[in-house]
Amino acid sequence: MPDDVAQEWPRWLAARAGGPVPDHPLFAPLFAPAGILLGRLAQTLDGRIACANGASQWIGGAGDILHTHRLRALCDAVVVGAGTVAADDPRLTTREVEGPNPLRVVLDSRRSLPATHRLFTDGAAPTLLVTATEGPARHGLAEVLLLPGWDLAQLPALLAARGAKRVFVEGGGRTVSAFLAAGLLDRLHLTVAPVILGSGIPAFTLPEATHMDQALRGHWRLHPIGEDLLVDLPLRVARP
């Protein structure tokens, strides 16, 4: 990330605690008074987020990892889908930067994940398992939150009621696509790595478009992060 982010990091942590927000185009939008849902993916130059067998570590470089941890530290909650947990067994903590761990939110509509994953056992941060399937009130150490009808549009308000207004949808591709297709994302941070796979899992899975005027268009800002390129795209401009 640019040096000014590292130099200003204590001020960003102070902003998270309610202090003045520094002027930086990449992070200042996180502090919108009404809250924000930010989607995030890292993809290859040809639009893949993983090999066909699911292997994805690591598409982005060190700058991409640092940016992800900074987003976790500045947001109140980080959201991932069941597929990401099953494939990567992530911790979703802020190991690479100073700052608090966010509320960790796992979306698992069928309650298919075993409670042995680290998110449900390590106690590193409060964790929610969001599901549409009835069952025990806890899943390992995680609290269970029922989402009736699996209506993602209800989730932002449920998280805001828990004090989580800055929500970081970290992945995977199907989860980010579901929020995008529902018109729920305010912004997208997309890392493009100088890698060509030629095959693999696509970044986005959205309803089929038959005309170009059905495409989601916006105006982006580009930020170099190490060897990668970060695309910052506001999304409250049209629905896919």
Report the CATH number that the domain containing residue 47 is assigned in CATH.
3.40.430.10
Q: Which domain holds residue 182?
A: 33-199+215-234
Please report the pLDDT score of residue 1 as a whole number. 45
Contact residues for 23 (Cβ-Cβ < 8 A; gap 6+): none
Please report the pLDDT score of residue 51 as a whole number. 87
Is 21 inside any structural domain? no
Contact residues for 36 (Cβ-Cβ < 8 A; gap 6+): 29, 30, 165, 166, 167, 186, 187
- The rounded average pLDDT for each run of 10 residues, N- to C-terminus, in the chain (240 residues) is 77 95 93 96 93 83 94 98 93 96 98 97 97 96 96 96 97 93 94 93 87 84 93 71
Total H helices, total E strands in the chain: 6, 12
Domain total in the chain: 1
